A and B are shown apart, each in its own frame.
Chain A
Amino acid sequence: MFDVIIIGAGVIGSAIAWRLARHDLNVAVVERDDDVASATSKANSGIIHAGYDPEPGTLKAGLNVRGNKLYPDLCRELGVDYLACGSMVIAHEGQEEKLEKLLLRGRQNGVEDMAIISRDKLLDMEPNVAAEATSALYAPSAAVVSPYQLTVALAENAALNGVEFMFNTPVEDVLVEEGRVTGVRCGENIFAAPIVINAAGVHADRLAQLAGAERYDITPRKGEYLLLDKAMEGFVRQVLFPVPRGSSKGVLVVPTVEGNILAGPTAWDTEDREDVATTPQGLEEIRREAPWLVSGISWGKVIGSFAGLRAVADNDDFIIRASARVNGWIDVGGIQSPGLASAPAIAERVEHLVGGLTELNPRQDHVTQRKSPRVSQLDRMKRQQLIEKDSAFGRIVCRCEDVSEGEVLAALAGALPVCSLDALKRRTRAGTGRCQGGFCVPRLVAIISREKGIPPHQVTKKGPGSPVVSGWLDKGWKQ
C-alpha cells in the first residue's frame, strides 16, 4: 500500500517524485520502460525556455516563467549541467513586428531582461547567423540542460529519499471504487494507493479515460533531430529560433551542455503513439530549414539522429488538475513544450494538489545532495586523487566522451537499477559521442555482464527484447 503512485518516470513523473520525496509519504513510480526518461524526456531540445512564447494567462505561461527561475538552484543542488546560454528569436526582413509582439507577450508573462537587438549586435553575439537575419529578440534567461541527465538526477534523488521506482511495469488498468481511485493494475500485480498521479506522456489521455476522469485528447507530434559533433562547439552560442510560424517553434539550432550542436525539431502530427522512427523527409526538412537561421552548418559533422513525440493536448495548454469525478486521481497531461522548462514548477503545483488530498508532513531525513564524479569535468589534481583512491577511474571505456570504468561502475551501483546500455548512456554519456558506441559497446557489455552476474546475451540496449548480441558462439569459446 502506497500513499501516492505516479504513473510514468519521465521528467514530469520524476520531478513530482523528487518534490513529494521531501514529505513523509510512501511514494511509488511505475514505469513502462526499463529506465527513466525513456520516451519524450530523452528526445527533445533540452531548452529551459524564457517564457515569452505561451499566451498570457495560460498554465504554460505561468509555469514556464516560474520553472525557468527555479532551474539554476535545482541544477546546482542535483549536480546537473546547466548552460545559461540565453536564446534568440531571429527575424528576417519584414518580420521585425513579430519580435515586438513576442517581446510584449514576454513582458506580460513576467520574463525579465529581454531586448530586441540589431543586426550588428546579433552578428557580434552569433557570428554564424544567416546573412538574411535583420534583428533578434534576445532572452538571456533561456538556458539548456540535458533532459535525461536532469531526469536521472531527479529520480535518483527521489529514490535516495525513499521513493520506490518500478520499471518494466506498464499500467494496464486503473482501479476505482465508488468514485475513488484505489490503485493501478500492472499485469498480475495490483498496487494500491489512494492518490494516483497520471504523468504518462503521450498515453495520459487513455489512462485518464481508464480512470473515468474528465476526458481530454492527446495527439502525438513527432519531432526529429540531427545531432552534430562536438567539433562544432561554439558554432552557435545561444538557442536560435526562427520567428514563429504556425503552431510549432520551427527548426531550431541549439548548443547542448556537452558542446554538441542540435538541429531540429520537425513537427508532424502522428496517429501512432510509439512512432519514434526518423524519416528521410524529416531529416531533409531539418537540413533545409536550419540554414534559415545559420550559414555554414556542416552536415558532414552529424553523428546521430533521433525522434521524439510531444504530447499535444486538445486545449493546447497543460492539463494539471485533481479530478472532480474520480477522487484521488490527478492528471498531468499535455506536457509538451515548454514542459521541460516548466517541470519543477509543475511538480510544485502537483505537490499542492496532493496537499489538498492528504496531509503533508516534512520528511526528517531528507537528503538534497547528489554527487557523481565525472572525470572529464574534474581538474587534474582531483582526477588524480580519485584514481589513486579507485583505479577504475583511470581506465577510459568511452574514448569520445572521456568516460572511465569507475563512472560506469558508480552508475551501475546507483540509486536506481541500471541494466541496459541506453540507461548507462543516460547516466555516463558512454556511447553518445562521435563513434556512437563502436569502441565502448563490447567493453560495456562485458562490464554489465560481470557486475550483474548475467551472461552477455542478457545485456540489453533498452530493456526486455533488446539484447545487444544473440549469444555465445556455438563452437568453442564457451566458458
Chain B
Amino acid sequence: MNRVKYSMVVIGGGPAGLAAALEARELGCQDVLIVERDWELGGILQQCIHNGFGLHLLGEELTGGEYAQHFIDQLAQTDIEVMTDTMVIHLAPGLITAVNPQQGLLEIEAGAIVLAMGCRERTRGAISIPGTRPAGVMTAGTAQRLLNMEGLMPGKRIVILGSGDIGLIMARRLTLEGAKVEAVAELMPWSSGLTRNIVQCLDDFDIPLLLSHTVVAVHGSQRLEGVTLARVDDNFKPIAGSERHIPCDTLLLSVGLIPENELSQQAGVELDSTTGGPLVDQHLQTTVPGIFACGNVVHVHDLVDNVSLEAQRAAAGAVRWLKSEIARQKTIPVQAGEGVGYVVPQRISLPQPDEITLLFRVKRPMVGATAVVTDGEKQVASKKLPFARPAEMAELVLEKGSLEGCGEQLEVSVVERSDSR
C-alpha cells in the first residue's frame, strides 16, 4: 500500500477545507494536503450558481462557484497538494486511509488533521414521511446538483417540504427553468431560511409558504403522483381534517442538514448531541489532540463567509498545535443558556491568549434581545441583538484577557428586553 506523510492534511476541499489549507500555508506550514472525494474542488459551492456569497468576507456578491474559484485561484499560487476523486475510508488519530482510482489505497500520516467534510441532507427516511416510494422524491441538494451541474430537470410540478435555504433557492431556480412550484411547506411556525431568500425566492415568484404544514402522505407507485399536506398543531402533530391533496411529480426535501461525522467518530472524536458536530475549543481543536474541525462538519452555517473565517481559525489552531504553542492547562465548558440553541466553541482552553469568537443560534425569533455571557453570577460580555432568528447565526467576541480569573463554566443566554413586544 502507498504510504505518504504530511504536516497537515485537510479532509474535504469545499469552502472550509480550501480556507483552512490556504491559511495553514500562509502561517508557515510547509506541507499541506487536501483530500477531496469529488472530481473538483469547491464542494457544495459548485452547485450553488445563485449569488449572495462573499458579501461579508470579500466585499462583493459572488455566485458559489465564483466564491470557490477565488480560493482555488489562490491555491494554484501555492505548493499545497490536492488529491481529488479520493475518498477517505478510515480515520485514526494521525493516520488517514483513503482510496482513489490512480493510486488505490493510501495511508496518509498527518501531523495535524483538519476535518472539513461538511454536512449531508436529512432524508425522507430520517423523518419517516409515510406513503409509497416512487421516483421523484429527493433532497433539494440532490436536485440542485442534477439541475446545476448535470443540466437535468428533476421534474415539472414541484412541492418542497422544508423552508431551509437550499429549498428556497431551488424553488426559484426550478421556477426560472419552467417548473411549477406549487408550495413550500414548513413544519415550524417560522421559516428556517434566511429572510432575504424568502423574499427573493418565494415572494417575488408568488410561491406560497405554508407554515405549520407537513407532508402526511406520498402517492404514486412508479413516479410521484401527488402529496397530501396537512396543518400541524403546536406539538407538530397533523390536524385531522386539514389534509389537502396536491398533484405533483416531484417532492423536494429541505428538512435540515446533518454534519457528516462518521469518520470523526472512527477517530474517537466526541460529538455535541445538539450540533451533531465535534465538541471543539476556541482553536477548533476536537477532543482528540491534533484533530481540528471547521465549517459545516462542526455546525451548520448559514453563510459561507463564516465557514471560511472559522476554517482560518482552525488552521491557525492546527499550526500552533504543530509548534506546541497551544497550552491546555484547563478547559471550561461553554453552555447554551436561556433562549440559546447551541454555542460553538463548546469549551474554552485556558489560559486564554487571544480574543475568542462565540457563534450561537437563538431558539426562536426574538426582537430587541440581548446576548449575555456569564461566569456564574458575573457578566463577562454582552451584545445587543435587535433581530435574532434561529436561521441566522449570531456572534459575540470575548476580548483578549476577558476570562482572567474565570470560574468553572461560561453560559451564553439571550433574553428579550421586557419593553419590547
Contact = CB atoms under 8 A, between A and B. Distances in A.
A58 B146 CA distance: 53
A35 B249 CA distance: 23
Contact of A466 (B100, B178, B223): B223
A113 interface: no
B329 interface: no
Contacts of A283: 128, 130
Interface stretch (A171-179, A351-359, A431-439): A431-439
B105 A387 contact: yes
A393 B101 CA distance: 7
A469 B125 contact: no
B131 A395 contact: no
B141 interface: yes
A321 interface: no
Given A387-B99, A394-B102, A280 B130 contact: yes
Interface in B221-258: 221-223, 238, 249-250
A69 to B, nearest CB: 35
Interface residues of A, number: 61
Contacts of B99: 383, 387, 394, 396
B172 interface: no
A101 interface: no
Contacts of A476: 151
A467 B105 contact: no
Contacts of B149: 442
A280 B216 contact: yes
Given A278-B131, A436-B125, A468-B135, A387 B87 contact: no
A380 B106 CA distance: 10
Given A383-B104, A442-B142, A473 B89 contact: no
A465 B223 contact: yes
B101 A391 contact: yes
Secondary structure at chain A's binding surface: helix, strand, loop or mixed? mixed
B48 to A, nearest CB: 15
A451 interface: no
Interface string A450-479: 000000110011111111111111111110
Nearest to A478: B151
A394 B135 contact: no
A457 B262 CA distance: 33
Indicate the member of A283, A388, A442 with the most B CB atoms within 10 Å: A442
Interface string B138-179: 110110011101111111100000000000000000000110
Given A280-B216, A395-B85, A471 B152 contact: yes
Contacts of A456: 150, 152
Contacts of B151: 472-473, 476-478
B126 A303 contact: yes
A277 B219 CA distance: 8
Interface residues of B, number: 54
B1 interface: yes
B225 to A, nearest CB: 10
B128 A472 contact: no
Contacts of B145: 442
Contacts of A436: 123-126
Contacts of B120: 434-435, 438-439
B121 interface: yes
B101 A442 contact: no
Nearest to B238: A280
Interface in A187-226: 226
Given A380-B1, A470-B154, A462 B222 contact: yes
Contacts of B50: none
B37 interface: yes
A128 interface: no
A23 B420 CA distance: 85
A305 B151 CA distance: 31
A447 interface: no
Nearest to B97: A380
A473 B1 contact: no
B134 interface: yes
B51 interface: no
Contact of B222 (A391, A466, A477): A466
B101 A384 contact: no
A384 B154 contact: no
B217 interface: yes
A306 interface: yes
A231 B263 CA distance: 12
Given A380-B105, A442-B146, A473-B147, A466 B134 contact: yes
Contacts of A399: 37, 87
Contacts of A464: 222
B100 A395 contact: yes
A231 B216 CA distance: 28
B363 interface: no
A438 B278 CA distance: 23
Given A278-B131, A280-B130, A438-B120, A305 B217 contact: no
B133 interface: yes
A475 B148 CA distance: 12
A274 interface: yes
Indicate the member of B87, B103, B125 with the most A CB atoms within 10 Å: B125
A232 interface: no
A227 B102 contact: no
A441 B150 CA distance: 12
Contacts of A383: 99, 104-105
Given A442-B145, A442-B149, A446-B150, A470 B249 contact: yes
Indicate the member of A283, A437, A478 with the most B CB atoms within 10 Å: A437
A471 B101 contact: no
Contacts of A3: none
A438 B141 contact: yes
B132 interface: yes
Contacts of A70: none
Interface in B286-334: none
Given A396-B87, A399-B37, A399-B87, A384 B105 contact: yes
B152 A472 contact: yes
Contacts of B130: 277-280, 282-283, 305
B115 to A, nearest CB: 15
A302 interface: yes
Nearest to A385: B104
Nearest to A395: B101
A306 to B, nearest CB: 7
Contact of A437 (B87, B142, B155, B262): B142
Interface string B189-203: 000000000000000
22 contacts: A276-B133, A302-B128, A303-B125, A381-B1, A383-B105, A387-B101, A392-B101, A393-B101, A395-B100, A396-B99, A435-B120, A437-B142, A438-B123, A438-B138, A445-B146, A460-B135, A465-B223, A469-B154, A470-B153, A470-B249, A471-B152, A473-B147
Closest 6 CB pairs of A and B: A477-B151, A304-B125, A461-B135, A465-B222, A391-B101, A387-B104
Given A302-B128, A441-B142, A471-B152, 14 more contacts: A277-B217, A282-B130, A384-B105, A393-B101, A394-B100, A394-B101, A396-B89, A399-B37, A439-B120, A441-B138, A441-B146, A442-B150, A445-B152, A460-B135
